[in-house]
Amino acid sequence: MNKINRKGFVNKLSMVAAGVMVPSLFYGQTIPVQPRPQKGPPLDKELVKEFVTIAHSDFDKVKAMLKETPDLLNACYSWTDWDWEDAIGAAGHMGSRDMAIYLLDQGARPTIHVAAMLGQIGVVRSFIDDLPQMKNALGPHKLSLMHHAKKGGSYSKAVVNYLLSAGIKA
């Protein structure tokens, strides 16, 4: 016989209660489904390269290009073998805090490297606690997590200190 502790009992009870209540909330009602956005044509490789390149330094041009071609947001460019980079990656390793936050607000995919640059110690610690190998993860251009954390300047001092305490070299 499996024993259940108090916390497990409360969790199971909550799930059962939700299972009873949820159908009653929607019984007889139609739940609207949002249509998927229409997939656009494949992006031109040179356009992606230009976008990722300017994401290293030109915030205004990033905003303008993204307004004109929203599909560029998460587009990646392959510089060489296994060196993929997107705009958020460029902003991350260049320490462009405002650009990174803007891209995240637009829906860019967050990474541990950008979190390190932004000083998001909770995110970095969670990644490394759950996946210890992430402390050695390389970002665009094979730049380390420590490189990204240092690019965050005063915002990411706690991340730098945490990485040092985790045995990552400066």
* Level-2 CATH architecture, domain 45-165: Alpha Horseshoe (1.25)
pLDDT digits (tens, 9 = 90+) for 122-160: 999 999 999 999 999 999 999 999 999 999 999 999 999
Name the band, by pLDDT with cuts 50, 70 and 90, for residue 20: very low
Helix (H) or strand (E) holding 139: none
pLDDT at 28 over 90: no
pTM of the prediction? 0.76
CA-nearest of 40, 33, 95, 115 to 73 is 40
Query: How deeply is 50 buried, as exposed, middle or buried, from its count of CB atoms within 10 A (0-12, 13-18, 19+)?
Result: middle
Distances (CA, A) of 45 to 5, 87, 164: 56, 14, 39
pLDDT digits (tens, 9 = 90+) for 111-129: 999 999 999 999 999 999 9
